[in-house]
Amino acid sequence: MSTRPVFPFAAIVGQEDMKLAILVAAIDPGIGGVLAFGDRGTGKSTTIRALAALLPAMKVNQGCRYHCDPATPDVWCADCRAATKHKSVTAPVPVVDLPLGATEDRVVGALDLERALTGHKVFEPGLLARANRGFLYIDEVNLLEDHLVDLLLDVAASGENVVEREGLSVRHPARFVLIGSGNPEEGELRPQLIDRFGLSVEVRTPQDLPTRIEVIRRRDGFENDPVGFTEHWKKQQDKIRKRIVDARGKLSGVAVPEIALENAARLCMALGTDGLRGELTLIRAARAVACLDGDKEVTDAHLRRVAPMVLGHRLRRNPLDEAVASTRVNRAVEELFGA
């Protein structure tokens, strides 16, 4: 990443769904990625790029190319296992871009070409390695080439990347939160890939005048004086960061009462979503929101907030219902919990 100033997350106007989804994924990475689909110029990329500056730093084994976590030796890479001494240092959480046009060798990693020219065999980790324990961002995910999509699906499912090249066999952890954004008008996403995303949000251009004015005003302020603008928002930014840290700490302490489990199940049944993943993700996302709000247990209010982003992309297509997915979810939510 360059040192170019990034528009602060805290200063992003509106887009509450998307911001919430990203915070939820940051609090509980196990939820499995965020898909942001929507209009042009709605700040999808801005929001995601703002994430890197927001995330609290993490602890890593010094020098590890996969940022192994000192606290979880059972999922260390081979290098960390082999090493006798470990020193724990803090490092920023990686938010890695997977650009269109990337070749496979750079995604999964390959032999270091530079060294190979002089006859040495050294593994050069790819983007998947870089994204371990962080976020992998694919802008225009619907335009990604099929063979790369297949690769990603495989790794995302196993949490591990295996590379066999030139008689070299490398296996390293690759657990990352997949974040995709795109414009559905330019091509649909394969159902298998959609399924990998725990949360999906539809992003729209704000339609009310005051919001639009505020968007332009802040954008203009940022462009005129990026440093001053970032400084101005630092406090807000720190506040959100603290909320993430606090929420992570509470994650295991928040209770999920029987009634919440039951309501989640009933909601999924009412919408006819396939499989148990929806239900599980619904509960986990609701729990993350409860942590974010500082609540002690998961309530219907939490479920209601996350239901559209968890279930919207898991609905079976109903050809008779023209309504957009989120409307259908909201309708079901209202039937279940009352308006």
| Minimal distance, residue 122 CB to another protein, in Å | 10
Among residues 277, 287, 304, 328, the one annotated as catalytic is 277
Cβ neighbours around 304 below 10 Å, total: 19
Position 185 contacts another protein (CB under 8 A)? yes
| Minimal distance, residue 42 CB to another protein, in Å | 7
Position 217 contacts another protein (CB under 8 A)? yes
Mapping DSSP to helix (H, G, I), strand (E, B) and coil, where does residue 207 land? coil
**Of 76-84, 180-188, 237-245, 329-337: span binding another protein (CB under 8 A):** 180-188
Distance in angstroms (rounded) separating the CA atoms of residues 339 and 240: 30
CA dihedral 152, 154, 159, 163 (to 10 degrees): -90
**Of 195-203, 269-277, 300-308, 316-324: span binding another protein (CB under 8 A):** 316-324
Q: Which is nearer to another protein, 112 or 293 (CB)?
A: 112
Q: Which is nearer to another protein, 16 or 321 (CB)?
A: 321
CB 112 within 8 A of CB 102: no
How many binding residues for another protein (CB under 8 A)? 65
| Minimal distance, residue 70 CB to another protein, in Å | 26
Position 299 contacts another protein (CB under 8 A)? no
**Of 29-37, 103-111, 279-287, 326-334: span binding another protein (CB under 8 A):** 103-111
Q: Give the residue ranges of DSSP H helices in the chain.
A: 16-27, 44-54, 78-82, 104-108, 113-117, 127-130, 146-158, 191-196, 209-224, 226-232, 234-250, 258-271, 277-293, 300-311, 325-337
Position 330 contacts another protein (CB under 8 A)? no
CB 295 within 8 A of CB 302: yes
Cβ neighbours around 4 below 10 Å, total: 7
Position 82 contacts another protein (CB under 8 A)? no
Residues in the chain: 339
Question: Strands 168-173 and 134-139, how do they pair?
Answer: unpaired
DSSP letter assigned to residue 75: G
User: Helix 325-337 crosses helix 300-311 at what angle (to 10 degrees)?
Assistant: 160
Terminal CA-CA length for the chain: 46
Please say if 277 is a catalytic residue. yes
Mapping DSSP to helix (H, G, I), strand (E, B) and coil, where does residue 38 land? strand
Position 87 contacts another protein (CB under 8 A)? no
Distance in angstroms (rounded) separating the CA atoms of residues 320 and 118: 64
Q: Which of 321, 327, 334, 335 binds another protein (CB under 8 A)?
A: 321
Position 117 contacts another protein (CB under 8 A)? yes
Strand partners, 168: 165
Nearest to 94 by CA among 174, 200, 15: 174
Position 231 contacts another protein (CB under 8 A)? no
**Of 28-36, 212-220, 268-276, 291-299: span binding another protein (CB under 8 A):** 212-220
**Of 59-67, 79-87, 106-114, 276-284: span binding another protein (CB under 8 A):** 106-114
Position 195 contacts another protein (CB under 8 A)? no
Position 42 contacts another protein (CB under 8 A)? yes
Q: Which of 79, 112, 160, 195 binds another protein (CB under 8 A)?
A: 112
| Minimal distance, residue 319 CB to another protein, in Å | 5
What phi, psi does 174 have (nearest 5°)? -145, 75
Q: Which is nearer to another protein, 45 or 299 (CB)?
A: 45
Binding site for another protein (CB under 8 A): 1-2, 4, 39-43, 45, 97-107, 110-114, 116-121, 124, 126-127, 139-140, 143, 145-147, 165-167, 183-188, 191, 205-206, 209, 212-213, 215-217, 219-220, 317, 319-322
Catalytic residues: 277
